[in-house]
A and B are shown apart, each in its own frame.
Chain A
Amino acid sequence: MKGLELIGLEIAVIAAGIAILLLDLWTAKEDKRRLGYAAALLVGVIFLASFAMLFEGRQEAFHGMYVLDEFALFFKRFFLIAALLVLLISVEFADRFESGVAEYYAITLFALAGMMFAASANDFTLLFVSIELVAVCFYVLVSFQRQRDRSLEAGVKYLITGALSGGFLVYGIALIYGTAGTLNFRELASLGPEVLESRLLLLGLLFVFVGLGFKIAVVPFQIWVPDVYQGAPVPTTAFLAAGSKGAGVVLLARLLYTGLRPIADRWGPVLVMLAMLTILYGGLCAIPQRNFRRLMGYSSIVNAGFILLALAAGTADGLAATLFYLAAYLYGVMGAFVVLCLARCPGQEDETCVLAGLHHRSPLLAATLTLAMVSLAGIPPAAGFFGKFQVFKAVIGQGAAFPYPAWALGVAVFGAVVSLYFYLNVVRTVFWSSTSESVAPIRISHATRWAVYLVIFAILWLGILPGAILNLAEYAVHSMGL
């Protein structure tokens, strides 16, 4: 049974998903809320169990296809926290689904399992299977509000663009296998530069990058982002922004930093160019947005650019910056979406009235949203500041393969300044917009209140005392042999 104990966390997540599906059959309609809490509780328990995981260095299973190291565990915990918060948000959101509440929780868990497999993928086969598992779950989750046209539209757009990028991914993998004769990242790295430098393999890599760039929302594979973010149910959007992006990042990082380490001078420049384009595109397009969810879509693109920039550095510091940036980004996104989910206006489908005068309706949520925006904008003392700081540091201390570091740094600073404008615009709407004060105050359930506290605590903790997480990130990077 070699290997089964290594995928224990994934098995537990899938078992939890099936258990939720079955429990639903004997649960009365008014008790469905508890199913969501049960799912969140199970995810929390699995998160704690991940720390108890027996660990002696790097372990491989299934003929090197699956690898368990600190790097994988870091991302598994990241996905577990994301799923925990998403489940708590979706409990609040559940009354807006016509049917299939328990299925929503179960599919969220299955998507989580896919992401956790992605964290350990050391082989193109597992890369493809895990990314498809995530994608297929998201096709369903995006179009879950079947009665809303916008949700269905988002679902169709996500399905078509996702299938297209999946096609590119498979074609790229085929080209790589055709040239290199192996699907394993480690074996790929051990091939000589004459194989890795061959044009056919580089073309295949470009195609693989299309598939992963779609997940991360990198320009030019970002067209789906604003529409899908706007149309999908709020918890799905949150999970897309944090989890799906994280899955793309971990796969890309593992591929680039183990399999393609010998040809860093080939992929580095491509990544830098795309990162600069992504930051510029996302930042400039976010300025005129008036819909909060579209704004978050463009914010997701900007952040993808920063992550890519850190990855492109090609150094251990760059990878550690990526991990820290993602962790900071997770709490910013979750803070924004938990508020968006709770602060709705009865009878109004659109979110135009959500933000205006929020501080009258719930000071706690207004504070959370402000903190999340401050963090995403990168203002100290919030987590996002330190994330951006790490990225800048990585760009300055970049590897030799990094073209135009001054330009890249300039674009990144420009992106950070532009994003100040649109994030703080949200804060202005929350506190200083004229609104009728007759809107009822928002009631927050206990579990969600704790989720909100967790987000606030994490943003401040990562911002003020980043040492612990940074050490964890560096330890994770070190486990990859960098």
Chain B
Amino acid sequence: MSSQLEQFIPVLMLGAFAVIVTVGMLLLSVVLGRRGRNSRMKNIAYECGMIPIGPSNVRLSVKFYLVAMLFILFDIEVVFLYPWAVIYRELLAEPAMKNVALISMVSFLGILFAGYLYAVKKGAFDWKD
């Protein structure tokens, strides 16, 4: 049991290090930083060093959430499709997996295609109104 716990010592050290660094940073900024000096330049939103243009709370169309959902859907599709495509040749070489490889992917794509049809017919890509 003790040897198992000993393996976790580096993890504990990392945790302690993280706590020390964050607390130290905060304390140092209190000690070294000159507080109470606000200027207009200091208070603008941080945009990677660029001077920001326009208001920061831009209103986004609610349609974005549909796009985000569809993106996840098709992103996942690619995630599964890619490794499948890489080993497809090897799968074909095995007689047991020959049909499985194709049918399983086609049925998966078929379900996704049904979802795509559904999205199109329900007007997920229709942004006119």
Contacts and interface: CB of A to CB of B under 8 A. Distances in A.
Given A1-B99, A1-B100, A18 B111 contact: yes
Interface in A1-42: 1, 18, 21-22, 25
A21 B99 contact: no
A42 to B, nearest CB: 16
B117 interface: yes
Interface residues of B, number: 9
A25 B111 contact: no
Interface string A321-346: 00000000000000000000000000
Nearest to A25: B121
Most buried by A among B100, B114, B122: B114
B17 interface: no
A61 to B, nearest CB: 13
Chain A's interface: helix, strand, loop or mixed, by majority?
A: helix
Interface in B97-118: 99-100, 103, 111, 114, 117-118
Interface string B35-50: 0000000000000000
Contacts of B121: 25
Contacts of B99: 1
A25 B100 contact: no
A385 B118 CA distance: 47
A1 B118 CA distance: 30
B114 to A, nearest CB: 5
B108 to A, nearest CB: 12
A262 to B, nearest CB: 26
B114 A21 contact: yes
B100 A22 contact: no
A21 B103 CA distance: 22
B127 to A, nearest CB: 19
A136 B118 CA distance: 20
Contacts of B103: 1
Contacts of A1: 99-100, 103
Contacts of A18: 111, 114
A182 B47 CA distance: 51
A114 to B, nearest CB: 16
A18 B114 CA distance: 7
A272 to B, nearest CB: 35
Interface string A60-91: 00000000000000000000000000000000
A133 to B, nearest CB: 14
Nearest to A21: B118
Nearest to A26: B121
A152 B101 CA distance: 43
Nearest to B118: A21
A51 B111 CA distance: 27
Contacts of A22: 114, 117-118
Contacts of A25: 117-118, 121-122
B70 to A, nearest CB: 16
Contacts of B122: 25
Nearest to A22: B114
A21 B117 CA distance: 10
Contacts of B114: 18, 21-22
9 contacts: A1-B99, A1-B103, A21-B114, A21-B118, A22-B118, A25-B117, A25-B118, A25-B121, A25-B122
Interface of A: 1, 18, 21-22, 25
**Pairs of residues from A and B, 3 with the lowest C-beta to C-beta distance, nearest first:** A25-B121, A18-B114, A22-B114
Given A1-B103, A21-B118, 12 more contacts: A1-B99, A1-B100, A18-B111, A18-B114, A21-B114, A22-B114, A22-B117, A22-B118, A25-B117, A25-B118, A25-B121, A25-B122
